[in-house]
C-alpha cells in the first residue's frame, strides 16, 4: 500500500525525483494515522485491509498538503489564497467521513 500511495502522492505533486521519498513516506504515515483516527478504526487497520478510494484520495490530499506547507506557511499551491489550506482540511474530512465508522 505504501508504495502505491507514494506514487500517487508524487503524481499529485507532479514530483519526478525521489530525493524526498522518505519525507513523503512520513507524511503518508501521518495522513493514514489521521484517517484511521478520524474514522474511528484501529491503528494500523489499513496495513491489513483495503483502503477505500475516498479514503485514499483524502490521504493523498493530506500528504500533499503536508509536503507543500512543510515550512509552516501556506506555500506552494496554496500561496494565492489564505483560505485554501482550510479548504484542504474540509475536503479531507468530508472524504474521510464517507468511510467513517459511526460508533455510538
Q: What is the pLDDT along the chain (104 residues), one digit of tens a residue?
A: 679 999 999 999 999 999 999 999 999 999 999 999 999 999 999 999 999 999 999 999 999 999 988 876 555 555 566 677 788 889 999 999 999 988 75
- Could you give the number of structural domains in the chain? 1
Do 36 and 43 contact (CB within 8 A), yes or no?
yes
Q: For the chain, what is the mean pLDDT?
A: 89
- pLDDT tens column, 29-56: 999 999 999 999 999 999 999 999 999 9
| CB-based contacts of 56, cutoff 8 Å, min separation 6 | 5, 8
pLDDT value of position 88:
87
Please state whether 9 falls in left (phi above 0), alpha (psi between -120 and 50) or beta: alpha
pLDDT value of position 10:
97
Q: How far apart are CA 50 and CA 47, in angstroms?
A: 8
Do 85 and 41 contact (CB within 8 A), yes or no?
no
Domain that holds residue 82: 2-97
86, part of any domain: yes
**pTM of the full predicted structure?**
0.86
104, part of any domain: no
91, part of any domain: yes
Amino acid at each position: 500500500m505504501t508504495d502505491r500511495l507514494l506514487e500517487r502522492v508524487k503524481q499529485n505533486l507532479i514530483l519526478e525525483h525521489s530525493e524526498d521519498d522518505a519525507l513523503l513516506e512520513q507524511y503518508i504515515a501521518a495522513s493514514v494515522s489521521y484517517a484511521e483516527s478520524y474514522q474511528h478504526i484501529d491503528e494500523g487497520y489499513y496495513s491489513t485491509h483495503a483502503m477505500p478510494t475516498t479514503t485514499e484520495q483524502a490521504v493523498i490530499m493530506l500528504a500533499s498538503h503536508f509536503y507543500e506547507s512543510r515550512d509552516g506557511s501556506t506555500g506552494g499551491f496554496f500561496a494565492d489564497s489564505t483560505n485554501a489550506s482550510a479548504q484542504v482540511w474540509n475536503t479531507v474530512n468530508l472524504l474521510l467521513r464517507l468511510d467513517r465508522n459511526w460508533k455510538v
